[in-house]
Structure 1
């Protein structure tokens, strides 16, 4: 989603008509509506699971229906090009574009391709990658290394506005931002909340806990919780000293661009294909973060890791300052212009 939000303004400014095909139940529609001038079209989608679930029996039919919906929508609107970020909603869209002979450009954020992108790659004209080593896993000459796409508005945040938004009682404490993805993480949420009594003595904590995971029983003056933040996120990031996060590529590269020391808690091999473990290890080797495996996550280990990150924060910032950031947005926009022509 972050990649799409980073790219769409470029095309709106260039006078393009932008249409967005997304899921019926996700938060994409709310985020896209904030951009204005982008029509949102919802289709049926099925999740591509690597584990047994009774929904696996139903979801192939949803994918087929979604592909038909996408095919009809693309045929009616006749786009010049389709850009796909990946994820389970992308499969019917890419199929619909291919059936209409519309060129497709795919973006892969992680070191190894996700299942959805693996299914879509045969139908794509180009595959853009965030990590240079991804090309070795794809084994196709359609790969183009572009680097990380960063939403430019994230760099426009104002720390003072972030502090006004959160209204902490002791505003001079260092700020810890905790986020577990758009749906949140029950494991991270639970262990963080068990640590609040100690952490709140040293830090102000902003917790993006995920949809439906607010805990109204907590009353700690150093703690603010939100399901998610959209408009105020750049300001909150501007005032943040450290981040605790999953290891999704889009998020961690955004934190890297903002020079925010990170404690990464990647999804386990059982929860995913292992891509976040690879992302986190790549960042750890580069000196950008600390890593705490979920199997080792407790209230005590989380507290110790946060303190360690804070005391060594300048080392991580120095390493991030040495990182050369590519103009990934310019590369992808140029490629889309080229393919569209």
Structure 2
């Protein structure tokens, strides 16, 4: 049987890379040879080389929705990136390209189209990001996370698949998680995770509410680099970490409830884990509003409780936690009904169909 070759691309943030890594074990089981194209010095380079996947760095220009002098020079970087990607594609002769978006993916997708290599892309958020919008005309299929996203995809390219979920996230050990946190009683455990950089707003709100929360729950707080509060180091029932990587599945396993931002990768992992959760999306002032749309979809489906940042206070936080506890089984049952909690198999099917065509 012929061994298929796939080139993956995506970068600019960890959110454009980790879903690619989530697909790698499944692709390897299918006998795929995997290569990666990213930017020369982006975050994706470190992540992919650590995973021991052959990596090609290309020129890439950042795509912006706002005025910046670099908007005049970066298009030339994109053009050079197309040339760089063409060289890699000629050399590797892939059967298919899989793109997770981010500005580095645009020249790769265009180059693949010029070489008549099928392209499957994936959009995590409710509305396509700028890179995926520009790349869509050059893609064969766009896998989307939310059913509502299909209407934003031109032609019949949109396919609802859900998002890729890392296998290891689902294999945590509850006993190990409790040991890591250092909890010995049987109180329910609340996990706050504010993304890799943490969220000062969420951190401050949680800490100001701790005296009330700790009466009923233990708390694991992943607060982001540089955000530890040394005055709380010995607080009973409270454990804080800057960042957790390898042990995160065990922390997820022991958590009874989760407070999180609303990035698509994060909330679909929470959905796959069936954890009752409170989502606090980034405000429109700090983003393009995609997290608000993501969280609204999850609230509508009964997967999550949502409080927008402007409405989050100690009182509203306590009320939301009470609601999560009271309706815990209802949230779990709703999540169990979801068809899109783990998109790995569905995305693999789209990739295989693209190769056949």
TM range, smaller chain: 0.7 to 0.9
Q: Specify the alignment match of 1:180 in structure 2.
A: 194
Match of 2:214 among 200, 206, 210: 200
Q: Specify the alignment match of 1:331 in structure 2.
A: 346
State TM-score, norm by structure 1.
0.87
Q: Name the SS of the counterpart of 1:173 in structure 2.
A: coil
Aligned equivalents of 2:307, 2:88: Cα separation in 1: 44
Aligned equivalents of 1:89, 1:212: Cα separation in 2: 29
Residues 61 and 308 of structure 1: CA distance in aligned 2, closer, same or farther (over 3 Å):
farther
The 8 Å contact of residues 268 and 341 in structure 2, kept in 1 or not, is answered as no
1:6 aligns with 2:11: no
Aligned equivalents of 2:101, 2:118: Cα separation in 1: 15
Shift of 1:106: 0.6
Give a deviation string over 1:240-295, Cα, whole Å, max 9, x none.
Answer: 11111111222212211211011011122233332222221111111111111011
Residues 47 and 209 of structure 1: CA distance in aligned 2, closer, same or farther (over 3 Å):
farther
Q: Specify the alignment match of 2:176 in structure 1.
A: 161
Aligned equivalents of 2:210, 2:74: Cα separation in 1: 40
* Matched ranges for 1:178-327 at <5 A: 178-219=192-233, 220-325=235-340
Give a deviation string over 1:71-96, Cα, whole Å, max 9, x none.
Answer: 43333333221101122332233234
The 8 Å contact of residues 36 and 54 in structure 2, kept in 1 or not, is answered as yes
Q: Specify the alignment match of 1:120 in structure 2.
A: 135
1:48 aligns with 2:68: no
The 8 Å contact of residues 269 and 341 in structure 2, kept in 1 or not, is answered as no
1:110 aligns with 2:125: yes
In terms of mean alpha carbon deviation, does 222-231 or 59-68 score higher?
Answer: 59-68
The 8 Å contact of residues 214 and 226 in structure 1, kept in 2 or not, is answered as yes
Residues 31 and 192 of structure 1: CA distance in aligned 2, closer, same or farther (over 3 Å):
farther
In terms of mean alpha carbon deviation, does 262-271 or 63-72 score higher?
Answer: 63-72
In terms of mean alpha carbon deviation, does 325-334 or 10-19 score higher?
Answer: 325-334
Aligned equivalents of 2:128, 2:44: Cα separation in 1: 22
The 8 Å contact of residues 124 and 163 in structure 2, kept in 1 or not, is answered as yes
The 8 Å contact of residues 112 and 134 in structure 1, kept in 2 or not, is answered as yes
Gaps of 5+ in 2: 1-16
Residues 331 and 204 of structure 1: CA distance in aligned 2, closer, same or farther (over 3 Å):
same
Give a deviation string over 1:157-208, Cα, whole Å, max 9, x none.
Answer: 110111222223x442222121222333232223223333433343222223
1:18 aligns with 2:61: no
Q: Name the SS of the counterpart of 2:88 in structure 1.
A: helix
Q: Name the SS of the counterpart of 1:195 in structure 2.
A: helix
Please tell me the root mean square deviation across aligned C-alpha atoms, in Å.
2.7
Shift of 1:126: 1.0
Shift of 1:8: 0.9
Aligned equivalents of 1:21, 1:211: Cα separation in 2: 28
| Aligned residue-pair number | 339
